[in-house]
Amino acid sequence: MTESATTTTTFVLIHGAADVGWSWHLVADELRAHGHEVIAPDLPCEDESAGLPEFADVVVEAIGDRRTRRDLVVVGHSFGGFTAPLIADRLPVAELVYVAAMIPGPGERPADWWARTGYEAAVAEQAALDGGLTGNEDPYVSFLGGVPDELAQEAMRRSRGQVDASSAAPWPLAAHPQVPTRALVARDDRFFPADFLRRVTRDRLGIEAEEIPGCHCAMLSHPRELAAALRDRPRGGLPG
């Protein structure tokens, strides 16, 4: 089912750690140009009292009077993968989409995700192949490699801190929401290597990830392609 077959969709775009809703602005422009609505709130990343439930509260509040509609597509990028399914658990949604995202396990603390998924070994393996680009300490290499310079600089200027509260408590769901779900991996992601996220997707959701062009911040490096992937692909399967 594609956009041409249905009515307007409301895309709820959830940013990653230390980020802001602005990072989605180019994707939002593409989606709006095709007649869709977009909600991209700023999460309380710097609030010491805000954990994942509070992050979800902010998103639900931003959705507002649309919360009873069944045309919501919830999209989580990077650390936003821990928040997006909480929205799908609370509200009737048409689809849940992970984009270069941390896919949580039931009861898992975000702080433990790295070790439990084998992240460090996967990064070391890929870094050995690409000369140390993957996992590089320079965010312009690991996060923003491929983003135009001026746009990358603006993204860094807008970035914020991320307090420990959001990673300290267990993810509150006992299972992934039983809603159509997809996972998109970025071909040139130097923070979450594509092969690593494909494995995590299979292990945790029982589905196959789809590949899109771009770096970890594909919404800035390849916004048109990411928007098209969100708009045009068939609805995903249920978590297995």
The model's confidence at residue 3, banded by pLDDT at 50, 70 and 90, is: very low
The tens digit of pLDDT for each residue in 99-152 reads 999 999 999 999 999 999 999 999 999 999 999 999 999 999 999 999 999 999
3-state helix, strand, coil in the chain (%, to 5): 45, 10, 45
Q: What percent of the chain has pLDDT over 70?
A: 96
pLDDT at 235: 67
Prediction pTM value: 0.95
* pLDDT(79) > 60: yes
Length of the chain equals: 240
Q: Domains along the chain?
A: 3-232 (3.40.50.1820)
Q: How many CA atoms lie within 13 A of 197 on its CB side?
A: 27
Distance CA 31, CA 113 (A): 31
What backbone phi and psi angles, to 5 degrees, belong to 15? -80, 170
